[in-house]
Chains A and B, each alone.
Chain A
Amino acid sequence: SYVVTQPPSVALAPGQTARITCGGNNIANRRVHWYQQRPGQAPVVVIYKDKDRPSGIPERFSGSNSGNTATLTISRVEAGDEADYYCQVWDSGRDHVVFGGGTTLTVL
């Protein structure tokens, strides 16, 4: 089965750039989607198909996917960006949705 791995946590000061990674074998061959989950709320998709941004999501959110790592980049982080972030791919071998374990972003 396909596995994607995320760092448990990322912490940085307001105004800095957050890079949250999602690692998987040749993940560049898969489309990666990213969800933001604020405390006590449902997840919201912030990036889909590696780099596309839904309407209403700030341009500060961007995505990339190359080699064995996909990355969610949040520029000029704000307190409101504090949340858990999950990457997700489709495992076509098993016809399964696969989520990463999630990364907690803390804005110091």
Chain B
Amino acid sequence: QVQLQESGPGLVKPSDTLSLTCAVSGDSISSPKWWGWIRQPPGKGLEWIGHIYYSGSTYDNTSLKSRVTMSVDTSKNQISLKLTSVTALDTAVYYCARVVVLPAARIHYMDVWGKGTTVTVSS
């Protein structure tokens, strides 16, 4: 059974960098799979951040692209997210997910989700 577990600081100061990790169990990061990040501000809908292939290729939300860095750590079987220059608008529950990608069919969807981690941006 594949499980994903997000972790990171629950409180980040404005203008700082938000750093999260997602530990994967029951599957190998190194297998040809995609892994993604999605966030949900309080009381609002889902916002896609991006997803990353085990080789390092990415698809990115252009509205966040300049502030987002995603990476894969095969030795720890985990992925990471860094979001720079955060503001209160970045306050959200952050989810990691396994992403099914079938490029020729233009199919991208999340088949396994972590439980999410709450990040609050406040001084």
Interface, chain A (partner B; CB < 8 A): 30-31, 33, 35, 41-45, 48-49, 54, 86, 88, 90, 92, 94-102
The answer to whether A102 touches B45, judged by C-beta atoms less than 8 angstroms apart, is yes
Further contacts, 16 of them, CB under 8 A, given A86-B45, A90-B107: A31-B106, A41-B115, A45-B109, A45-B110, A48-B109, A49-B107, A54-B111, A88-B46, A88-B110, A94-B62, A96-B61, A97-B48, A97-B61, A97-B108, A99-B47, A100-B45
Chain B residue contacts of A44, Cβ below 8 A: 113
Which of these, A30, A49, A96, A102, contacts B48 with CB under 8 Å?
A96
Q: A48-B109, A90-B108 are in contact. Are A96 and B62 (CB under 8 A)?
A: yes
Residue in chain A with minimal CB distance to B107:
A31
Chain B: number of interface residues, binned into ranges: 20 to 34
Give the CA-CA distance A31 to B111 in the complex, in Å.
14
Give the contacts of B30-74 with A (CB-CB under 8 A).
Answer: 36, 38, 45-48, 51, 59, 61-62
Give the CA-CA distance A94 to B38 in the complex, in Å.
17
